[in-house]
Amino acid sequence: MLRHLFDHRYAELFAGVGVSLDELLTKAKLPPDLFRRKTISLTKEEYYRLMAALGTLMPDDQAVVRMATWNDMHTFSPPMFAAYCSNNAIACLERLARYKRLAGPMVFRSSVEDREFHIELAAIDEHTPLPDFLVEMESAFLISLIRNATQRHICPLRMTMTHTVRNQSLLDYLGCPVLQGERNMIILSMSDAERRFVSENEDMWNLFEPELKRRLQQLESEDSVSTRVSSVLMELLPGGKCRIEDVASKLCLSKRTMQRKLSGEGTTYQKQLNHTRKLLAINYVKDATLRNDDIAFLLGYQDTNAFLRAFNSWTGQTVGAYRRGR
């Protein structure tokens, strides 16, 4: 399953505004040692649960503004720092749109309409809406970044969010009307969007860009539907589940959409199922304590003979011969 890196410094940030990290992890149903791990990575669902839980634990209305204006907030992740090194907000958003997924499961989309610069905050898929608090926090972060980079108190012309914003401190900080709408949008004047960043640093950008491209290519490779299907099957098969409907549901896709995407990658669900079963089978037969019946069950077969025939077709050997060969 696709995972997103989560910077350790966010734990310091959360604690700094008065949030109990133990309570946060408990409420988000995440491991209690998460922030003590060498590398923190979260699935989309875990990331959204963490942000939703964080929103309920804010000690006061000022907390989200304190987070957005935290010292060196723009250096928390390579994509944010690369955006901070841009020459204006337009280039900044273009870089964030390209690399935001390296920092979390959301995307930025930007466009120019009637001499206005439009920025949309959206989830990485259409099936899962962004948590309300994540939208508020990311919007405040983005405005803070633009203000720091320009050294001007820039306010959007207007904003829309898919929920009603009741945090008056946040509204005061944003300094513009925030209406409820169908999309999460920030609208800047073109003059503000084109205002030069005093933080512009092409040398730093040239240093960061190759690594960001490498990370994005790795993420996109891991994000192929065929890879995600295999990952889900690894999780479901030991429980006896291998129906295409089960996998599609786990990926938040319709059966038809998943089949279409797999076809576009030159494969089918049955091919992915067979490939995953083969990988697992070869691993399982290495364990001499597992009987053929056990392995068949762990691979989602109702009939042990069906597993034995499949194993022979994969390896050209019976299970017994394969084990003796090892």
Domains in the chain, please, with CATH?
60-217 (no CATH), 225-325 (1.10.10.60)
For the cut 70, the answer to whether the pLDDT of residue 231 exceeds it is yes
pLDDT at site 174: 97
Q: CA-CA distance, 193 to 273, in Å (whole number)? A: 49
Count of beta carbons in the 10 Å neighbourhood of residue 11: 18
Give bridge partners of residue 113 from the DSSP assignment.
116
- Beta-carbon contacts of 217 under 8 Å, excluding residues fewer than 6 positions away, are none
User: In the predicted model, what is the mean pLDDT of the chain?
Assistant: 88
pLDDT score recorded for residue 82: 82
Determine the pLDDT at residue 104.
82
35-67 residue pLDDT tens: 888 878 888 889 999 999 999 999 999 999 999
| Measured CA angle at 253 (ends 43, 301), to 5 deg | 90
pLDDT tens sequence across 144-180: 999 999 999 999 999 999 999 999 999 999 999 999 9
Contact present, 107 and 101 (Cβ < 8 Å): yes
Give the rounded percent of residues in the chain with a pLDDT score beyond 90: 48
Position 221 pLDDT exceeds 70: no
**What's the average model confidence in pLDDT over 105-118?**
91
pLDDT value for 73: 65
Check pLDDT > 90 for residue 188.
Answer: yes
pLDDT at 222 over 60: no
- Sole residue written with tokens 């720092």: 81
Please state the rounded mean pLDDT for residues 248-268: 86
CA distance 169 to 13: 18
Share of the chain above pLDDT 70, in %: 95
Q: What is the pLDDT of residue 2?
A: 65
pLDDT on residue 204:
81
Is residue 107's pLDDT more than 90? no
Average pLDDT over residues 88-100: 89
CA–CA dist 200, 183 (Å, integer): 30
The type of residue at 77 is S
Reply yes or no on whether the pLDDT at 92 is more than 60: yes
pLDDT at 201 over 70: yes
Pairing state between β 41-43 and 106-113: unpaired
Choice between 283 and 2, residue whose per-residue pLDDT is larger: 283
pLDDT number for residue 134: 95
| pLDDT for the residue 306 | 92
